[in-house]
Amino acid sequence: MSKVLRVPKLDLAAVLAQQNPAIDLRLDAYEASTRNFLAAVSNYTQRAVAEIQNRKDAYAAEKKRLAEKALQIEAETNQCKLKEIELIKVLDKEQEERKEAEASVAAFRRQLNSVKDKCASLDVEIEQHRVVAANLLRERKREQHILGAHAARAHPEVAACEAALKCVVEGIGQDKILVRFTHIDPADHDREFSFVIDVSSRTYKVAVVPTTTPFLPTLPILLDELNESRDIYAFIRHVRAAFRELVAGR
């Protein structure tokens, strides 16, 4: 800090009492004080200018930084807008897919309800069929019991007829009948002549059992007659007679 020059008070009466009155203006001190003041003003001005320039530079730098920040924010905003557009498209697509899925679910639910109704109807039919099947099974068991009772009563009679006719008829497999004859060959009464007849369809089929019986040439003719007449008993008699003729003609 510059030193302040203090001027003593002027005693005007003393000055005037002098022979040659004179006032010391102290110009040197004034000039020195003036130079100091001007130097101080100059320094202040330079500091002020420097401060202003610094603030101007700082303002320009801050302005530039804010401008760059604004550009960055604008770029980020544009990217966000693009992303928002893409998200809107995705949301629209998801909404469409959701609507389609809801429509599909509704259709599947209708189908499921329809299937449930059909299943309920089928359950009722199945239960009805079960009742019918149970009734039929009871009826079949009753018939089997009756047939078993008849068979038990008829067995002695059948055995007597077989012994008298020298013919045995028995079931083999499914829908097949085995017919065996004895006492056809006078030279060997125990020799068997057998054939199997298939009664599974409307057309009878016959196969001669080739154990001890030679081929029967008239069998196709007899089979045609059986299919025309449907008389199985007459067919058995005719086959036995054909076996007799075959043995007699050897």
Is pTM beyond 0.85 here? Answer: no
DSSP state of 81: H
DSSP state of 18: S
Identify the weakest region by mean pLDDT among 18-22, 220-224, 245-249.
Answer: 18-22
The residue assigned the tokens 């039919």 is 125
Q: Under a CB-based contact definition with an 8 Å cutoff, are residues 198 and 178 in contact?
A: no
Kindly state the average pLDDT of the residues 7-28: 69
* Residue 171: count of CB within 10 angstroms of its CB: 10
Give residue-wise pLDDT tens across range 160-188. Answer: 666 766 788 887 777 788 888 888 888 88
The residue assigned the tokens 């829908």 is 175
Amino acid at 186: P
- Sorted by sequence, the CB contacts under 8 Å of residue 5 that are 6+ apart come out as 29, 32, 33
Q: Which of 239, 230, 220, 215 is nearest to 165 (CA)?
A: 239
Measured N-to-C along each axis, helices 219-229 and 232-248 cross at an angle, to the nearest 10 degrees, of 160
* Residue 179: count of CB within 10 angstroms of its CB: 20
**What backbone torsions phi and psi does residue 20 show, to the nearest 5 degrees?**
-120, 90
Q: Under a CB-based contact definition with an 8 Å cutoff, are residues 216 and 208 in contact?
A: yes
Q: How far apart are CA 250 and CA 245, in angstroms?
A: 9
Q: Which of 97, 100, 77, 79 is nearest to 89 (CA)?
A: 97
Tokens of 6: 């203090």
Kindly state the average pLDDT of the residues 229-240: 84
More confident call, 73 vs 202: 73
Percent of the chain with pLDDT over 70: 82
Kindly state the average pLDDT of the residues 25-31: 75
